[in-house]
Amino acid sequence: DAGVTQSPTHLIKTRGQQVTLRCSPKSGHDTVSWYQQALGQGPQFIFQYYEEEERQRGNFPDRFSGHQFPNYSSELNVNALLLGDSALYLCASSRQGNEKLFFGSGTQLSVL
Amino acid sequence: GENVEQHPSTLSVQEGDSAVIKCTYSDSASNYFPWYKQELGKRPQLIIDIRSNVGEKKDQRIAVTLNKTAKHFSLHITETQPEDSAVYFCAASQRGRRALTFGSGTRLQVQP
């Protein structure tokens, strides 16, 4: 049973560029959440997708957007990258109505 | 919004000793409290969780206690082993809301 998978594992971008991160949920899960984890900090909630719609959003600017596909996989897009966007981006999946989150290993994004 | 504070930020114990990590939360509506373990370079893994209708939960060497009146909850690890060394995060969420709010983490080091 595959867990939550994310790609790529590492990414280097320059300021102003755009990036797309991908996530496949754990088998049987239909809900995907994205979190940003800065070095030495706890994860911060970006948004959650269910039934291909954004259901809740954290305190992140519109530069952060997402999508969920019919197979429940998801993408996180970040436009106009800033140096402060450098972080580990974690995807977590769950079953709707179940609070237990299962995390992927993350994408380490470096913005130079 | 919810705010979760976690302490201590670092904790060093001798193998076989107990370790206690404490968290406080601000929103009395929060009713789900998970704990995650994150080893260096790896994904956060759910190790135990508790809901607000329960005061204590145990799983082998790990236990979590919840005091709703004081709005704090704690993780207890007994008979610590070197493989318990990791960063531990507490989190809180409300039923019906989809975001977890995480504490800032505790780096636990178990000295052999």
pLDDT digits (tens, 9 = 90+) for B28-42: 989 999 999 999 888
What pLDDT score was predicted for residue A1?
A: 59
Q: What is the pLDDT of residue B97?
A: 72
- What is the sign, positive or negative, of the torsion defined by CA atoms of B81, B83, B86, B89? negative
Spatial distance between the Cα atoms of A8 and B91, rounded to a whole number of angstroms: 27
Contact A105 B102 (CB under 8 A): no
At residue B65, the pLDDT reads 96
pLDDT in tens, B65-93: 999 999 999 999 999 999 999 999 999 99
Cα B71 from Cα B26, distance rounded (Å): 7
Question: What is the edge-to-edge ordering of all strands in the sheet holding B56-59?
Answer: B4-7, B19-25, B72-77, B62-67, B56-59
pLDDT band at residue B63 under the 50/70/90 scheme = very high
Q: Which of A3-17, B70-84, B96-110 has the lowest mean pLDDT?
A: B96-110
Residues in B lying within 8 Å of A, measured between beta carbons:
1, 4, 6, 32, 34, 36, 42-46, 49, 89, 91, 93, 95, 97-105
> Tokens for B22?
């404490």
* Angstrom distance (rounded) from CA A98 to CA A105: 21
Residue A104 backbone dihedrals phi, psi, to 5 degrees: -85, 180
Contact A22, A73 (CB under 8 A): yes
